[in-house]
Amino acid sequence: PMGCDVCYTNHAEADQDDMDALLALLVASGVNFVMGVPGADDIMLGYQSTSFHDALAMRDLLGKRPAPEFEHWLAAQGLVDGQGRVRPGGVPLPFRQLLGNSVNP
């Protein structure tokens, strides 16, 4: 398996369009793992990367499925819909229990 961090430093001649094109090419060519950073902005290292939603979007766009073990965990947590997409209608019960009264169903 091969993974990749689609990223660029803030001083490079690149932008989000370049990132989206490279990400789509990598996923279409069979990359197994794509790095995700909250908000796609790594402020500590000063670079732009992909965010968690970018991996979900590519998976939906190209009809890819998660790794079987991860897909099983997602289903056990109630985080996937009937088609196996990560699209919960609300916060699943196990997470609501962990969060207590701080979140509505």
Give the domain ranges of the chain: 1-64, 67-105
Q: 3-class SS at 76?
A: helix
pLDDT single digits (tens) 15-40 = 889 999 999 999 999 888 888 888 88
Strands (DSSP E) contained in 26-92 are: 33-34, 41-42, 47-48
Evaluate whether 71 touches 91 at the Cβ level (below 8 Å).
no
Highest mean pLDDT among 23-32, 42-51, 92-101: 23-32
46-75 burial, b for 16+ CB within 10 Å, e for fewer?
A: ebbbbbeebbebbbeeeeeebeeeeeeebe
pLDDT at residue 100 is higher than 80: no
> Position 46: which residue type?
G
Which pLDDT value is given to residue 22?
A: 93
Whether residue 103 is predicted with pLDDT greater than 60 in this model: the reply is no
Q: Is the dihedral of CA 18, 24, 25, 31 positive or negative?
A: positive
Looking at residue 45, its pLDDT comes to 80
Question: What's the pLDDT tens digit per position in 48-76?
Answer: 889 888 988 898 899 888 888 988 998 88
